[in-house]
């Protein structure tokens, strides 16, 4: 009987410890920030009068806000694998893929202009690479 009670107590303690160590909420908050940041970046690029002006405005937005996003990302990078649920891991992965695709799509949507205008192509490539660097460095 004592062994059964002790086993239940240990199981309960482990459950509480697991919940206490979970950092899902913190990570999901970052995912929301990343989604908002990327949506604003893409919106800025698309809402300008010309594709070139849009890329310039998006680059400025990225430059003005990348350190704030990097700081948040550094906090998330310190999270250990066991502190995140499988569901949250899937949400992170989906968010990164969706956001990276949205930024790369700026290049794809303007492929004809990029093919004929080397300066524009250079601007778009810089934007895409800078965005990637924020997330990977």
Please report, for the chain, the start and end positions of each structural domain, with discontinuous segments joined by +: 23-136
Q: Are 26 and 74 in contact (CB under 8 A)?
A: no
Model confidence pLDDT, tens digit, residues 10-62: 333 334 334 445 788 989 999 999 999 999 999 999 999 999 999 999 999 99
Give the gyration radius of the chain's Cα atoms.
Answer: 21
Q: How many Å apart are CA 134 and CA 37, to the nearest integer? A: 12
* pLDDT tens-place string over residues 74-130: 888 877 777 789 999 899 999 999 999 999 999 999 999 999 999 999 999 999 999
Say whether pLDDT at 9 is over 70. no
In whole angstroms, give the CA distance from residue 87 to residue 77: 17
pLDDT at position 131 over 70: yes
CA–CA separation, 72 and 69 (whole Å): 5
Q: Give the integer Cα–Cα distance in Å for 26 and 49.
A: 37
- Token duo for residue 73: 């990302």
Instruction: State both tokens at 48.
Output: 């300008």
Whether the per-residue pLDDT at 5 is higher than 90: the answer is no
């Amino acid at each position: 009987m004592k062994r059964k009670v002790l086993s239940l107590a240990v199981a309960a303690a482990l459950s509480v410890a697991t919940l206490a160590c979970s950092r899902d909420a913190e990570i999901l908050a970052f995912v929301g920030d990343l989604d908002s940041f990327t949506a604003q970046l893409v919106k800025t690029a698309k809402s300008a009068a010309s594709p070139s002006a849009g890329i310039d405005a998006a680059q400025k937005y990225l430059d003005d806000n990348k350190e704030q996003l990097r700081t948040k990302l550094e906090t998330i990078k310190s999270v250990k694998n066991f502190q995140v649920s499988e569901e949250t891991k899937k949400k992170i992965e989906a968010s990164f893929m969706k956001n990276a695709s949205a930024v790369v799509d700026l290049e794809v949507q303007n492929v004809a202009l990029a093919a004929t205008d080397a300066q524009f192509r250079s601007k778009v490539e810089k934007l895409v690479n800078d965005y990637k660097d924020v997330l990977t460095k």
